[in-house]
């Protein structure tokens, strides 16, 4: 990188850049050396930025027509759907956009898990990411309350009641969250306020996330440290820009499919019934992206411990860089970890499935086993595996496996041993 | 300043921090407390219900502080069932006599103590209530018998103003 040497060509540019170095920043982002072997799993950062901006823009528009009042919220959402020009489109983009956001973030997180992107020196990037993920869940939950349908109301009741599990102060906290003795108008107005605020907090954290990324640079599928810039890197523009752009287009096709062909498939029919504090729907389930955690909550028969287990399942990710003791980042060179990784993926999918099913009989048993395995993976398997696993030899550069050699003479001589 | 003796300056620092902390606390508290129930919410704290039209074996549900209150006129069988349970069998031991002073009338918050859903009447393994959300079973006295709920359904403060009027709150 030669940021400090950068000087704008035009006189005006130079004048401005000397006072606020925005052009230097733009130049850094354009020239930013990126590993040349980044695959399509690395395009989800850009896709997530797109998702965030989509939610902010459509949300801004919806807020112009929505009325945050318990007596009017439900009708105002129907008003958006029926009367507002293209209101149906904007609302469906926003509602399905939340699901697409989570789809992308889960791929992004599991990419990190596979390639060890959370390991030193990228722990801070990872932790900021987990905070973003937590804020996303908060924003999604509060956004789901705003239409004031039956699922909105009862979802809000159940989730806020989780805090009542806290000994002594729990009930007081719940009353404080509600602003009353039940979920009601004060709850709705504050959820609307926070739902509006959180995306901008996320935006700020995304800036920090990218800033922290640009300090060590991207991890890559081989997971080795590379020299930057070198033969192993390409400039961000145009190489990564075009690749991210293509992936984004593919993603938008999926997005558009949901918006235009099955806009309600990811929602619940019960939410088209206005909130009724006297009747609980027979089967309360959260949105699909929260189901694994819901399954963990329900698999524990004790109220407080259930809540503790659910929160731990999320927060355990924050300490992952220290739980995984392996020095090798990429699962490509960790034959055992690779298998446990896929078991974890299946485990989380199973948790998601049983989270949508009634908590009884066989489903409950499966949920309990899957919950136990989830914690086993992070608390036992990862720490032990890092010490015991026999890893494959890692190449010295990204180019080496391709050319079968390396500029490093000694490494080239050891080529045969590498192949074995 | 090499010796460890407290100096005038140290005192000034400590005093400044202390006053500052009080000031910050006094500024933050209104921001926090504004989220607690406001005067208009608290003003709705009591409600009167006419129960003259409720026959034995029927339940009416009224809204009090935004929450459902079940008022059930219990049958003799239900009363007998509730009073015959041994306290050792209960997860949250409470005598039925303490929950329903007038045995015919059970007045309680229709809110499951697990995560706040409204249980269904005349359902579950104990002929009382059943919560559809996470499967808690309550008996004819509204006491938790099976499932994740930690305590019995709550009995609000109420009184009979006359033979037919119940004042809740």
Contact state of B148 with A179 under an 8 Å Cβ cutoff: no
Contact state of B116 with A157 under an 8 Å Cβ cutoff: yes
Q: What residues in B contact A359, CB-CB < 8 Å?
A: 134-135
Handedness of CA A365, A371, A374, A378 (dihedral sign): negative
Distance, in angstroms, between A183 CA and closest chain B CA? Answer: 8
Burial class (CB in 10 A: 0-12, 13-18, 19+), A368: middle
- Classify strands B120-121 and B105-109 as parallel, antiparallel or unpaired: unpaired
Q: Tell me the whole-structure pTM to 2 decimals.
A: 0.89
Contact state of A277 with B68 under an 8 Å Cβ cutoff: yes
pLDDT in tens, A3-15: 457 899 999 999 9
Contact state of B148 with A161 under an 8 Å Cβ cutoff: no
- Calpha distance A407→B167 (Å, rounded): 88
Q: What residues in A contact B68, CB-CB < 8 Å?
A: 277-278
pLDDT in tens, B7-49: 899 999 999 999 999 999 999 999 999 999 988 888 877 888 8
- Calpha distance B131→A132 (Å, rounded): 34
- Calpha distance A204→A305 (Å, rounded): 34
Task: Dig out the tokens for B169 from the structure.
Answer: 């709150």
- Calpha distance A260→B19 (Å, rounded): 60
Query: Which residue of chain B is at minimal alpha-carbon distance from A283?
Result: B133
Which of helix, strand or coil describes residue A81?
Answer: helix
Give the other-Cβ count within 10 Å of A255's Cβ.
Answer: 23
8-state DSSP, A60: H
Residues A206 and A132: beta-carbon distance below 8 Å:
yes
Query: Which residue of chain A is at minimal alpha-carbon distance from B63?
Result: A278
Q: In what order do the strands lie in the sheet with B158-160?
A: B47-50, B165-168, B158-160
Burial class (CB in 10 A: 0-12, 13-18, 19+), A124: middle
Query: Which residue of chain A is at minimal alpha-carbon distance from B67?
Result: A182
8-state DSSP, A34: E
A87 touches chain B (CB under 8 A): no
Contact state of B66 with A154 under an 8 Å Cβ cutoff: no
DSSP result, A261-311: H-TTTTS-GGGGSB--TT---SS----GGGHHHHHHHHHSSSHHHHHHHHH
Residues 53-82 of chain B whose Cβ lies under 8 A from any Cβ of chain A: 61, 63, 65-68
Query: Which residue of chain B is at minimal alpha-carbon distance from A153?
Result: B117
Q: How far is CA A353 from CA A106, A135, A296, A364, in A?
A: 16, 24, 12, 11
A361 touches chain B (CB under 8 A): no
Give the other-Cβ count within 10 Å of B137's Cβ.
Answer: 20
Tell me, rounded to whole angstroms, the distance of Cα B161 from its chain centroid: 22
Contact state of B35 with A283 under an 8 Å Cβ cutoff: no
Residue whose pair of structure tokens reads 């129930």 in the numeric block: B37
Q: How far is CA A50 from CA A45, A93, A244, A308, B46, in A?
A: 9, 13, 11, 33, 51
Q: What residues in A contact B63, CB-CB < 8 Å?
A: 277-278
Contact state of A278 with B65 under an 8 Å Cβ cutoff: no
Contact state of A280 with B133 under an 8 Å Cβ cutoff: yes
Distance, in angstroms, between B35 CA and closest chain A CA? Answer: 5
- Provide the β-strand partners of residue B131: B136
Cα–Cα–Cα angle for B10, B11, B13, nearest 5°? 65
Task: Dig out the tokens for A191 from the structure.
Answer: 């959820």
What contacts A277, CB < 8 A, 6 or more positions away? Answer: A153, A182, A183, A184, B63, B66, B67, B68, B118
Which of helix, strand or coil describes residue A1?
Answer: coil
Half-sphere exposure of A84 (CA within 13 A, CB side): 20
DSSP result, B74-117: --HHHHHHHHHS-GGG-SS---HHHH-SSTTEEEEE---TTT--
Residues A118 and A216: beta-carbon distance below 8 Å:
no
Give the other-Cβ count within 10 Å of A291's Cβ.
Answer: 20
Distance, in angstroms, between A277 CA and closest chain B CA? Answer: 7
CB < 8 Å & 24+ apart, contacts of A91-97: A91/A58, A91/A62, A92/A259, A92/A263, A93/A54, A93/A58, A93/A259, A94/A55, A94/A58, A94/A59, A94/A62, A95/A263, A95/A266, A95/A267, A96/A255, A96/A258, A96/A259, A96/A263, A96/A266, A97/A51, A97/A54, A97/A55, A97/A58, A97/A255
Distance, in angstroms, between A300 CA and closest chain B CA? Answer: 9
The residues of B that are catalytic are 134
Q: What residues in A contact B61, CB-CB < 8 Å?
A: 278
- Classify strands A233-235 and B136-138 as parallel, antiparallel or unpaired: unpaired
B25 touches chain A (CB under 8 A): no
- Calpha distance A302→B148 (Å, rounded): 6
Nearest to B68 among A154, A278, A282 (CB): A278
Contact state of B118 with A278 under an 8 Å Cβ cutoff: yes
pLDDT in tens, B77-115: 999 988 888 888 898 899 988 898 888 999 999 999 888
- pLDDT given at position A402: 62
Nearest to A181 among B37, B131, B148 (CB): B37
Residues B107 and B158: beta-carbon distance below 8 Å:
yes
Distance, in angstroms, between A163 CA and closest chain B CA? Answer: 9
A179 touches chain B (CB under 8 A): yes
- Calpha distance B135→A236 (Å, rounded): 54
Contact state of B133 with A183 under an 8 Å Cβ cutoff: no
Mean pLDDT for each consecutive 10-residue tract of chain A (420 residues)? 72 95 94 95 98 98 97 97 97 97 98 96 97 97 96 93 90 93 94 98 98 96 90 94 97 98 94 93 89 92 88 96 96 96 98 90 94 97 95 88 54 48
* Helix, strand, coil % over all residues of chain A, rounded to 5: 70, 0, 30
Which of helix, strand or coil describes residue A27?
Answer: helix
Residue whose pair of structure tokens reads 């009382």 in the numeric block: B128
Contact state of A182 with B35 under an 8 Å Cβ cutoff: no
B135 touches chain A (CB under 8 A): yes
- Provide the β-strand partners of residue B138: B129, B144
8-state DSSP, B154: P
Nearest to B66 among A176, A181, A283 (CB): A181
Which of helix, strand or coil describes residue A240?
Answer: helix
Q: Output A321 or B64, whichever has higher pLDDT.
A: A321
């Amino acid at each position: 990188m030669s940021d400090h040497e950068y000087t704008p060509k035009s006189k005006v540019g130079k004048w401005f850049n000397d006072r606020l170095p925005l052009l230097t920043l733009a130049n850094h982002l354009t020239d930013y050396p990126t590993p040349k072997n980044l695959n399509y799993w690395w395009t989800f950062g850009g896709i997530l930025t797109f998702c965030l901006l989509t939610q902010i823009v459509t949300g801004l528009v919806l807020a112009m027509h929505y009325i945050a009042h318990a007596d009017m919220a439900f009708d105002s959402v129907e008003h958006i759907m029926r009367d507002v020009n293209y209101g149906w489109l904007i609302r469906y983009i926003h509602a399905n956009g939340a699901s697409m956001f989570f789809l992308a973030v889960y791929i992004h997180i599991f990419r990190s898990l596979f390639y060890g992107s959370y390991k030193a020196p990228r722990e801070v990037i990872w932790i900021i990411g987990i905070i973003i993920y937590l804020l996303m869940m908060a924003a999604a939950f509060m956004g789901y309350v705003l239409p004031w349908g039956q699922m909105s109301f009862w979802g809000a009741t159940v989730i806020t009641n989780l805090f009542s599990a806290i000994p002594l102060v729990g009930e007081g906290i719940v009353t404080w969250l509600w602003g009353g003795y039940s979920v009601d108008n004060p709850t709705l107005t504050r959820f609307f306020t926070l739902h509006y605020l959180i995306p901008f907090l996320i935006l700020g954290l995304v800036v920090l996330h990218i800033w922290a990324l640009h300090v060590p640079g991207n991890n890559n599928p081989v997971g080795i440290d590379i020299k930057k810039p070198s033969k192993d890197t390409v400039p961000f523009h145009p190489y990564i820009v075009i690749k991210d752009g293509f992936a984004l287009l593919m993603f938008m096709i999926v997005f558009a499919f949901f918006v235009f062909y099955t806009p309600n498939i990811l929602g619940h029919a019960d939410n088209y019934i206005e909130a009724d504090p006297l009747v609980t729907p027979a089967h309360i389930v959260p949105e699909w992206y929260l189901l694994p955690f819901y399954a963990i909550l329900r698999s524990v028969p004790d109220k407080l411990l259930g809540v503790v287990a659910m929160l731990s399942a999320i927060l355990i990710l924050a300490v992952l860089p220290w739980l995984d003791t392996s020095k090798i980042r990429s699962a490509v060179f960790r034959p055992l970890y690779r298998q446990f990784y896929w078991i974890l993926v299946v485990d989380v999918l199973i948790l998601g499935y049983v989270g949508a099913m009634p908590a009884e009989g066989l489903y409950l048993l499966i949920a309990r086993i899957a919950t136990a395995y989830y914690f086993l993976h992070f608390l036992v398997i990862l720490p032990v595996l890092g010490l015991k696993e026999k890893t494959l030899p890692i190449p010295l550069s990204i180019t080496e496996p391709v050319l079968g050699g390396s500029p490093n003479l000694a490494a080239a001589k050891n080529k045969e041993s590498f192949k074995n | 300043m090499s010796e460890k003796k407290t100096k005038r300056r140290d005192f000034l620092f400590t005093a400044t921090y202390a006053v500052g902390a009080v000031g910050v606390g006094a500024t933050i508290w209104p921001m926090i407390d504004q989220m607690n129930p406001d005067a208009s919410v608290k003003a709705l704290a009591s409600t009167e219900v006419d129960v003259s039209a409720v026959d034995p074996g029927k339940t009416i549900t009224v809204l009090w502080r935004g929450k459902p209150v079940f008022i059930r006129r219990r049958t003799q069988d239900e009363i007998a069932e509730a009073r015959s349970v041994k306290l050792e069998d209960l997860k949250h031991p409470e005598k039925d006599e303490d929950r329903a002073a007038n045995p015919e009338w059970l007045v309680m918050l229709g809110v499951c103590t697990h995560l706040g859903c409204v249980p269904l009447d005349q359902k579950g393994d104990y002929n009382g209530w059943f919560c559809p959300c996470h499967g808690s079973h309550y008996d004819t006295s509204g006491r938790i018998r099976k499932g994740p709920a930690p305590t019995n359904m709550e009995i609000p403060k109420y009184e009979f103003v006359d033979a037919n009027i119940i004042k809740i709150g």
